[in-house]
Structure 1
Amino acid sequence: MLRWGVLWGVMAAASAGYAGEVYRCGTTYQDHPCSPRSTQTPMELASAPSERDRAQAAQRVEQEARLARQLAQERERREAEQRAQAQKQPVALSSPHASTLEDNDYTRCTGTKEQRKRWSERKREYCATRYPEDPLPHKRRWRHRD
């Protein structure tokens, strides 16, 4: 907070030292008159900030710093709550992919002989445990009896 006050003070002092006329010479700006060949336009600068403006700026800086500290504390509190909540939740004993495999296991464990050759080892294990007696349970319904 003290740094911001010092910074504002230095900027105010620096701007007060340069108060004077500024000349626009074509597309450039200078603190001395332009050459006689170019067109010059004197410009008026805003005056240095008053004490009231400096006090308001310092007050805004303090408010924003206070708000930043408050937001940081709230964020840290939320993160601590999330960590505590994560520690309370039970750990899944199955693989994270088991629920996605069970969502549509009928279509996942079906396929032609060529398609089954391309199955991953995990899918083969899953289908073998899900249907141990028959790797293709739906095909039995469509087979004709001889």
Structure 2
Amino acid sequence: MPRPEPGGAVIVFDGVCVLCNGWVAFLLKHDRFGRYRFAAMQSDAGRALLASHGLDPGDPASFLLVEHDVAGGPRISTDTNAIRRVLAGLGGGWRLAHTLALVPRGLRDAAYRRLARNRYRWFGKHEACALPAPEHRQRFL
């Protein structure tokens, strides 16, 4: 199963979702240290990561972040906790994303799940996963 480098992280995203691809493009632009790697949930690596952490690869309603600290231990985050950790991991002013924890997780995750259930209808869907630009290929599993 794919593992991030120590101190790095893997984000499993929906490779055909227009919104999700926009999220990945945003992260590629703002991740100055190249901390995040990406796996489309439609790929073998993405499906394996989802399944190994108790998420159904056939029902991509969750957002998965797998982090490994320098000691090599995994830290798994899903949904709004994952989004909060990803944004804060960009550093600088993005660390303010931790203030999202002030909103009860049940409320945050309910809003996230509504967005996840409607993302294709609201934002669109690609026919197939997009190929990363050559300068970003090494960041995709």
TM surpasses 0.5: no
Which has the higher relative contact order, 1 or 2, with Cα contacts under 8 A spaced 6 or more apart?
2
Q: Answer with 1 or 2: which has the greater Rg.
A: 1
TM class by shorter chain equals under 0.3
